A and B are shown apart, each in its own frame.
Chain A
Amino acid sequence: MSGTRRTLSRLRAFLFRRRRDADLDAELAAHIDFATEEGVERGLSLAEARRQAMIRFGGIQQAKEQQREARGIMNLDILLQDIKYTLRTLGRDPGFTTVAVLILALAIGANIAVFSVVNTLMLRPLPFRDAQQLVWIAPPPTKCGMSCATYSTDAYDEFRVGSRSYQDVTGYFAFSSADNLSLKLGSAPVTATSIDVIANFFQLLGVQPAMGRLFTADDARNGAPPVILLSDPWWRRQFNADPHIIGKAYDINGHQTTVIGVLPASFDFGAVFAPGTKVDAITPLNLYGPPRDWGNIITLIGRLKPGISLAQAVDEAARVAPSMCWNNKYPDSCGSYKGSVIPVPLKDYISGKLRQSLIVLWSAVGAILLIACVNLSNLLLARAAARSKEFAMRGALGASRARIVRQLLTESLVLSGAGAVFGLLLALTLVQWLTHQGAIALPLLSTLRIDSASLGWTVLIAVLSALFFGLVPGLRMASGNLHETLKDSSAGSGQSRKHERTRSILVVSEVALACMLLVGAGLLLRSFLHVLDVDLGFQPERAAAIKVDYDDNVPNDKTGDLTTQKRTAIFQQVLSSVGALPGVEAVGITDYLPLGQNRSWGTPFPKGVKVPDNLAGPLVYVVTTGYQRAMGTRVRGRDFAWSDGPHNENVVMINESYARFLAAQTHWPNNDAIGQIISSDPQGDPKNDLHIIGVVDDVHEESTDGEAGWQIYYPVTQAGPVGAELVIRTTLPPASLATSVMRTLRDLNPKQPLAEFRPIQSLVDHANSPRRFFMLLVAAFASLGLLLAALGIYGVISYSVTRQTSEIGIRMALGASAGLVQRQVLVGTLRLALIGVVLGALASLATAKLIASLLFATSPWDGATYIAMALTLIAIAALAGYVPARRASRISPLVALRAS
């Protein structure tokens, strides 16, 4: 049969349905006329003939429906009808429509936004070509920080040459500090941050420049002219998006440096490798220059050959590791990487830690959506109850049950569609805002966007929620006995009681979900407060840091002593000048600040005691006298002095944990490290002895919520720092000193760039930002859940009060006091809330494992949190029930009885 022809006819019939309908009407009218005429000819009266004609015809409406169904695209036809009808009914009830769309918009919007985050961090591949081939090569996490997550240049070479699993291996210098570039533009130098990468870095990642070229091996050779690649934001901000910038040279750190390219906007080094920091430029790392002797400085990133599995790469890395040397000059350093060369998918390295947080977040918004659906279900039920007559009437007129359910589902779909549209707008705003939260130390945040997957997700959840919240009232409605409904005029019928039971169940589940959300948020909040309470080992309040530029270069300094002397003089000068400023309480200089970058230099140990294998060494800080006081870190023993010069005995300070560990390895009087000697020189040359002069508090150097590791402090007068962070403790708010400090530094060194004056608190905030971020989000969702639950409770109680108006009126006429009525309504409310809270608490207890790994010093079964949250919920429920209860108590028996 000509199926196409039939389809075309159907389509035509659908498009011209009005004309077809008129046609059909005329045809049917003719039919009845023929039949009537025949009846009259047989001798019947006109009326009787017409009646019999109608009987024999069957239902006119049914016949029309059947014909329409046969001729057109019935579903589309009905859908259009339903939508038209829905818009009309919804328009007639703007209050309901607004509330419903608002609830859905909030819930769906939150879901889309969180989905975009989850999609970016967890589901979508990294923003690189064939990102699944990329691996991060590092040892398992240890407490010696970046130094133990990096490799020496010799090790890199050996690994690259010795491995066959990779298309190529690259890496970057892991110890660049912020603001390490000083760009001379006009009078005052500006600072920027650059990262040194191995020349093949971009080729390996598959990043193409937006302009110019990438690095080549020649750019990283000894004596190569300095070149630089600009990030897109820096190029726009600092160079006004100069389209002719390629080939121009600028004075950067005192060298004429040529801009060879601008990176694409889609590449953000910070977003991928250093969350929460901005990287302005990329410079080539000369593997065969001085870095050769800098030890572990390179992070490794590899691109696997197609078809090579991770397991194969892991096996091979374990085979290659023993032949990698820390420094080829020292044969005994070969093999030191055994067991610490392990490839993991780059994506796992970047966002693996966040997996659990994201799952919790996702569950939280899922719960929000559920609550919203339950709420909507409830609202629709209330509406359906009010419309039950309408539906009964339609049923009596021949509408099938399926048709009525379909009509109700259409209403749900229209509502959720509108909710999805507004939700999408909300999510767009949220995502837009999130991408600009550079200070949140979450990876890939700047690449966040609403993509096609997010849109698909939007459609999916909109349809699913429409089905979910539309089906229950739909079925409830359609299952009613229409005779009873039509007959029944008072609201106290069995039908409404059944409704009320359904609604109570819905409210209870809503309260239970809200309870779970609240408990989760409460636990996260408590953890966050605990983290804020952690003794970090330093006092972040009223302290700030600024990067100080200095030039300690002394030409032809064979021993390094002259450099050290020059540096000492500069630092001494800086500290005495800044220290003399009014409001400054203490000043000191360090090369690395806590909660930032770190490194280690081997493991100094008591002489004669063998260092255990694979022991991670303490983190190294090179500081001046006064640094500990400026940071607010307590020192036992003495501080460094300017007199601890290059020719005096070497002095160090270590932290309590390391002191305790060392004391346990040997026999020191009173187990006290002060005055003892340690050394990391295997030969034990007394020249390299380190005299412990002080023991300082444990400082949280890597994270606020982790354990403090081991630290060792060297004086700038004896060891070489990699930079200078001037730390100032003030009696005034730190920011008020920014200008005077900068002026002082400029007076001492005109080349001092306009570096940022950073409160130490901001370092702590930065470290806490992911936790704060997740906590705030979950708390926001919990509040939303609470609000929705309160709304649900209010709706149900309010409805039941309305329904019982006459009953309450009678009881009051029989002597029930207003207080009693009010109390009874409230008790009913609290009963629902209590059941919900108990169920929610039980569910929380059961699912506590999910959240356990995100908590800090808080049990997932923390009683205080559970009780506080339960009380909050019950209080809110009481509040939500109070309004209708009050209304009930105000019912005038006379009015109520007359009304019924």
Chain B
Amino acid sequence: MSPKLDLLQGTLDLMVLQTLAAIGSLHGYGIARRIEQVSGNEVLLNQGTIYASLVRLEQSGLISSSWGVSNNNRKAKFYAITKSGRRRLVADAEHWERLTGVMDRVFAMDKGEEPA
């Protein structure tokens, strides 16, 4: 198995936002599991690191939190994306796509192809 990917600075925040946007309200463990599943276990994620990301996002007003009860009747803190969180997600996703586009072209150049 190839070594797991180290997360780029800021990507975890984006993943959390996207997860919450896609699924709705979710607790910390759920978010972490979801990211692990989606990434096909390719991302090196200490589940604990998610909490720093969550508090950061919450303090910036991109997500909100409230204590609730889970399906299996356990008390947990649930997070949900806010309006400004969605706006941020759109902006960041666009930024991310542009960046990957640029990176693709840069690597294409590396293979000896002339850029269009």
Contacts and interface: CB of A to CB of B under 8 A. Distances in A.
Interface of A: 1-2, 5-6, 9-10, 13, 23-24, 26-28, 30-31, 33-35, 37-38, 56-60, 62-64, 66-67, 69-71
A199 to B, nearest CB: 71
29 contacts: A2-B61, A6-B59, A6-B60, A9-B59, A27-B28, A30-B28, A31-B27, A31-B29, A31-B32, A34-B27, A34-B29, A34-B30, A34-B74, A34-B76, A35-B47, A38-B33, A56-B47, A57-B48, A58-B49, A64-B51, A66-B51, A67-B51, A67-B52, A67-B54, A67-B55, A69-B52, A70-B53, A70-B56, A71-B52
B103 to A, nearest CB: 25
Interface string B34-75: 000000000000111101111110111100000000101011
B21 to A, nearest CB: 18
B86 interface: no
B52 A27 contact: no
Contacts of A33: 74
A23 B77 CA distance: 9
Contact of A30 (B32, B55, B74): B74
Contacts of A6: 59-60
A590 B60 CA distance: 89
A229 B29 CA distance: 86
A458 B83 CA distance: 52
A70 B59 CA distance: 9
Interface residues of B, number: 26
B76 A30 contact: yes
A37 B72 contact: yes
Nearest to A23: B77
A58 B33 CA distance: 14
A27 B60 contact: no
Given A28-B51, A58-B48, A63-B46, 18 more contacts: A5-B60, A5-B61, A6-B59, A9-B58, A13-B55, A13-B59, A23-B77, A30-B74, A30-B77, A31-B28, A31-B32, A34-B27, A35-B47, A58-B47, A66-B52, A69-B52, A70-B56, A71-B59
Nearest to A65: B52
A42 to B, nearest CB: 13
- Pick the 5 closest A-B CB pairs, nearest first: A63-B48, A58-B46, A9-B59, A34-B29, A66-B52
Given A30-B75, A30-B76, A62 B48 contact: yes
- Which secondary structure characterizes the binding site on chain A? helix
A24 to B, nearest CB: 7
B59 A10 contact: yes
Contact of A35 (B29, B54, B76): B29
- Which secondary structure characterizes the binding site on chain B? helix
Given A34-B27, A63-B49, A27 B74 contact: no
A30 B27 contact: yes
Instruction: Name the residue in A6, A30, A69 with the highest tally of chain B Cβ atoms < 10 Å from its Cβ.
Output: A30
A33 B75 CA distance: 10
Nearest to B30: A34
Contact of A27 (B30, B46, B56, B77): B77
Contacts of B46: 56-59, 62-63
B61 A27 contact: no
A610 B72 CA distance: 122
Contact of B48 (A13, A23, A26, A59): A59
A55 to B, nearest CB: 9
A66 B60 contact: no
A64 to B, nearest CB: 8
B79 to A, nearest CB: 10
A59 B72 CA distance: 26
Contacts of A70: 52-53, 55-56, 59
Contact of B60 (A2, A38, A64): A2
A10 to B, nearest CB: 7
Contacts of B27: 30-31, 34
A293 to B, nearest CB: 88
Instruction: Name the residue in A35, A37, A67 with the highest tally of chain B Cβ atoms < 10 Å from its Cβ.
Output: A67
Instruction: Name the residue in A6, A10, A24, A56 with the highest tally of chain B Cβ atoms < 10 Å from its Cβ.
Output: A56
Contacts of A58: 46-49
A2 B70 CA distance: 32
A95 to B, nearest CB: 43
Contacts of A9: 58-59
B53 to A, nearest CB: 8
Nearest to B51: A67
A62 B60 CA distance: 22
B59 A30 contact: no
Contacts of A56: 46-47
B74 to A, nearest CB: 6
B49 A1 contact: no
B28 A66 contact: no
A35 B31 CA distance: 12
Contacts of B54: 67
